[in-house]
Structure 1
Amino acid sequence: MPESDPRQELADAFGRELDPLAQFEETFIETEIDPFELYEENRLASKDLSDSTVEEYRRSFRQWREFMDQQGRHPACPNESHITGFIKYHRDERGNSVGTIKNRLMYLNQAYQYWQDDAAFPHPQDYNPIDLAKATADLTHEGPKEPPRLSVDELRGKVEEITHIRDRAIVLMQLKLGLRATEVCNIKLSEIHLSNRDVQDHYDSMGEAKALKERNRKHAVYIPHERDGNKSRKPRMLPLDDELRRALLRYLLIRPDNGEPWLFLSQTTREQMTKQGVNEIWKSAFQPEYAETEDYRGITSHFGRHRFTTYWRVEQDLNRELIKYMRGDTAGSANLKDRGAIRL
Structure 2
Amino acid sequence: MSLSSALKQLQTRNVKFTTLKTALTHNSMPTSNGWGGIEKKYADLNIPAATTSSYSSKLQKIYRDNIEYGDKAVQIAKFHNDLSHLFKSLLQVRFKMAFTPPKPFPEQLSLPDLKDLTLQPKLARVEYNGTRTGFTMYFYARAYETFKEKFPVDQMRDPISIRRFEGFDEVVAIKQIIYLRIDSVYVDIKDCRIEFFADATRLSSTDKMNEALLQLKAIFREVMIEQASDQWGIIAFPLINFFPKIHEVYNGAQGLLVQLGHNTAAGSINNSRMRASLGDLKQDPSHTASMASSTTIEKFSIKKAYSYYNDLSTVYLSIPGKSADTSMPVPTVTTAIIEDCIDGTQFNDMMQILR
If each structure's strand is expressed as a fraction of its own residues, which one has the higher value? 2
TM bucket, shorter chain: under 0.3
Larger Rg over CA atoms? 1
TM-score, L = length of structure 1: 0.24
- Larger RCO (CA within 8 A; separation ≥ 6): 2
